Homo-oligomer: A and B are copies of this chain.
C-alpha cells in the first residue's frame, strides 16, 4: 500500500494539496493502483525496486505533486535512509530510467508516473498559480514532434513536453 492508513478515510497524503488536481481520475485510489502497477512493471523489466527506490516512489505518489530532489531527500532522511543528495538522485534517476517517474525540468522536480507501463509520451501541464502538475497522454503531440524532426533528418529518442498555464480551478479564482 502506498499509505499507512485506510484509504477510504480522509487521506492526508492525497487530500493535502489544496489544489486537488484538474485531471479527472480517481484520486483516492490512484496512488495505490499506480504503485501496484509499478511493482509489476519493475518485476517484468528485471528492475529491482529496492526499499529506498520503492519508498521514493511512494513519497511521490503520496504527495501527488512534483517534488524537488531535496524535498524527497528530507523525507528519506527522516525515515532513517541516507541523508545525502546522491541517495535521492540515484533513486529518482532509477525511477525515471524505468518509466516509473518523470522529471519536470521546468520545476527542477520529479513526479510519479501516473501511467506506468503504458507506452506514453507524456505532456506535463503545470499551473503557474498552484504549481499542480498533471500528466496528460499525448500521442498526437509526440507524433507531431516526430514529424517535424523527421523533416530535418533528426531522430527523436526522448522528449520533454511541458506547458505552463492555468488549471481550471485557478482560472476560475483569477476572474
Q: Which residues of A contact B (CB under 8 A)?
A: 22-24, 105-106, 123, 125, 127-128, 134, 136-138, 140-141, 143-145, 147-149, 151-168, 171
Contact = CB atoms under 8 A, between A and B. Distances in A.
A154 B24 CA distance: 12
Given A106-B105, A163-B159, A141 B152 contact: no
**Interface of chain A, main secondary structure:** mixed
B160 A125 contact: no
Given A144-B141, A154-B22, A155-B171, A149 B161 contact: no
Pairs of residues from A and B, 3 with the lowest C-beta to C-beta distance, nearest first: A153-B168, A105-B105, A141-B144
A151 B134 CA distance: 12
Contacts of A156: 125, 163-165
Contacts of A127: 154
A76 B94 CA distance: 39
A145 B138 contact: yes
A167 B141 contact: no
Contacts of A136: 148-149, 151-152
A130 to B, nearest CB: 12
Nearest to A134: B152
Nearest to A164: B158
